[in-house]
Structure formats: structure tokens, C-alpha cells
């Protein structure tokens, strides 16, 4: 299905169009990251409707738009977004592969301090894996950490 | 854009009266989600991802941000005997995501499927 020309259309309206016209895409990928040494590993799951938008192209704004809004919100005395138009008026990004969509999602929804230097320490702070690589049960969930000895064919968080 | 559009400030019923469309626009949910005990998303609107933060704690990021963090949220656990709530004790409200906590009758965190609905102003 052809994406309508969406530049200038409110992003919420585009999402409503996508929900009505695109089938959701369940990703098998998960992003495991450690936000803080004092907390357990977090598991990010892509939304199927969002993934459909990413694969379709012409719907989502560039990820840099979200960074700009995050900067605004981090300002002292922030009460309300005044640059929401960036979401709606910036030229939408073209269709992505699932892998590109995951990179975009990481840069949008994971803390910047995690993904900007995810492999600078003794072990990675972030790993992309398949859901089958996560522990099979949620026992001791609050103790999950990224494995110190990573291997792509083994469970990554234990 | 090629989408059909009806512009109206008021909807009027033949006998039941009229309704200002701003009530429809402002009163409808701006984001909603059904999440599993592991934050996998069953259905949603305006959500880009779910994150399993630990036992019984989750957060969901919006695709289009809210204008401000002064939003109203409803969270329900989909399992009887457990309670869903906005996790505002541990996290400040933001315009970009919503934190959800599920607890059992002893107020201990518990993994359960849940749903959340957010009403607020869009950016």
C-alpha cells in the first residue's frame, strides 16, 4: 500500500492511518540494556504497530526530532512543548529494514548514556538478541544482568 | 494528503442535543496499550515500544509525545487480585513515556498482563 504524503500531517493522524491500513509486525528481536549498575537488565520490546510504520516508510519523523524534544523537556522550568511541530512538519523517514528500525528505536527509547557508549566498559551495556535467547522463565527477574561472557547462540541475560 | 476530512466544531443529534467536537478531541485517549507480563504488546495506539523494567514494572514510550506531563492515566491488571497503577512514586511523569506497576494484594510487585490508557494533550 502506498503511504500518503504525510509531511505536515499530525503524527497522531498518521498513526491512526497506519493502524487502520497496515498489519502489525511482531519482531523477534529484543533489546537488553543496563541503565544503572544498581538495577536489573531491562528488556525493550518493539511495538508491532510502530514496527509496521517503520517498515512502511513515510510515516515516522527522523529520530533527531525526538532528541530535540528531549532537550526541550530537560530545560529547567519546562512546562509544555512548543516545538511539537517538529514531529509533524519534518520530512518523514523512508522505509527501514527491521534491523534499521531497531537501531532507530534504540536511539529513540533507550537512554542516550546507554547506547552512545554501550561497549566501552568491561562488558556491553546493551545487547540486541532474539526473544528465544532470554531466560525461559521470569524467576529471579530482578537479578537479571547481561552475561559477562556473551555468545550469540546462547542465553544473553541470566 | 489524500485523506478525507470533515471539519466541524459541533455535532448535533436530531433529538438528543449537540456536542462540541473539542470534547471528542480532548476527551479521547491519546495512547493505550495491552501488555503481557513481559511487556510484549498485544495491541496499542501511539506506542513505539514496551520495556520490561523488572518484576511487575514496565514502561511504554509514545510515538508522538504529549504536550506536557500533566496527563491522566488509567492502568489495570488483567488478572483478578492484582492491581495496576501509574508508577509515579519511582518515576516522574514525562511527555514521552508512562511507567506502570503491578502489585498483588500484599503490595508486592508481580508480573501480570495489564493495560493502560492515557488521556492528555498531544504535542
ipTM for the complex shown: 0.94
- pLDDT reported for residue A28: 96
Which residues have a Cβ under 8 Å from the Cβ of A136 and sit 6 or more positions away? none
DSSP A33-84: E-S-TTS--EEEEE-HHHHHHHHH-SSSPPHHHHHHHHHHHHSTT--S-S-T
- Residue A70 in this model has a pLDDT that exceeds 80: yes
Q: H/E element holding A89? A: helix A85-89
CA nearest neighbour of A44 among A97, A94, A115 = A115
* The C-alpha cell that represents A11 in the structure block: 503524527
List the single residue in B41, B50, B123 with the smallest CB-CB distance to A87: B123
Mean pLDDT for chain B overall: 91
Mutate to test the interface with B, among A43, A58, A67, A89 (most CBs of B within 10 A): A43
Q: B68 vs A13: CB contact, 8 Å cut-off?
A: no
- pLDDT band at residue A125, thresholds of 50, 70 and 90? very high
Spell out the domain ranges in chain B.
Answer: 29-119
- Residue A154 in this model has a pLDDT that exceeds 60: no
pLDDT tens readout for residues B17-65: 888 887 787 789 999 999 999 999 999 999 999 999 999 999 999 999 9
Q: A87 vs B64: CB contact, 8 Å cut-off?
A: yes
Mutate to test the interface with B, among A10, A109, A129 (most CBs of B within 10 A): A109
Q: Could you report how far apart the first and last alpha carbons of chain B are, in Å?
A: 20
- Residue B80 in this model has a pLDDT that exceeds 60: yes
Amino acid at each position: 500500500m502506498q503511504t500518503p504524503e504525510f509531511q505536515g500531517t499530525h503524527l497522531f493522524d498518521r498513526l491512526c492511518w497506519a493502524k487502520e491500513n497496515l498489519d502489525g509486525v511482531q519482531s523477534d528481536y529484543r533489546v537488553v540494556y543496563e541503565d544503572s549498575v544498581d538495577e536489573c537488565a531491562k528488556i525493550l520490546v518493539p511495538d508491532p504497530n510502530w514496527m509496521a510504520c517503520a517498515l512502511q516508510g513515510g510515516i515516522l519523523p527522523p529520530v533527531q526530532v525526538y532528541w530535540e524534544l528531549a532537550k526541550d523537556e530537560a530545560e529547567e522550568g519546562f512546562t509544555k512543548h512548543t516545538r511539537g511541530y517538529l514531529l509533524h512538519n519534518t520530512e518523514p523517514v523512508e522505509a527501514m529494514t527491521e534491523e534499521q528500525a531497531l537501531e532507530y528505536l534504540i536511539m529513540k527509547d533507550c537512554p542516550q548514556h546507554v547506547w552512545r557508549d554501550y561497549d566501552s566498559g568491561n562488558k556491553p551495556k546493551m545487547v540486541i538478541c532474539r526473544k528465544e535467547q532470554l531466560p525461559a522463565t521470569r524467576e529471579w527477574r530482578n537479578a537479571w544482568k547481561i552475561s559477562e561472557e556473551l555468545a550469540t547462540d546462547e542465553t544473553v541475560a541470566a | 494528503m489524500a485523506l478525507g476530512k470533515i471539519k466541524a466544531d459541533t455535532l448535533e443529534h436530531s433529538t438528543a442535543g449537540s456536542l462540541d467536537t473539542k470534547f471528542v478531541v480532548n476527551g479521547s485517549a491519546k495512547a493505550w496499550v495491552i501488555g503481557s507480563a513481559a511487556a510484549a504488546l498485544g495491541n496499542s495506539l501511539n506506542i513505539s515500544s514496551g520495556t520490561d523494567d523488572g518484576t511487575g514494572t514496565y514502561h511504554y514510550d509514545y510515538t508522538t509525545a504529549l504536550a506536557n506531563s500533566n496527563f491522566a492515566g488509567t492502568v489495570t491488571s488483567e488478572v483478578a487480585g492484582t492491581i495496576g497503577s501509574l508508577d509515579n512514586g519511582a518515576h516522574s511523569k514525562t511527555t514521552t513515556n508512562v511507567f506502570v506497576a503491578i502489585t498483588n494484594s500484599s503490595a508486592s510487585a508481580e508480573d501480570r498482563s495489564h493495560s493502560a490508557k492515557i488521556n492528555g494533550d498531544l504535542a
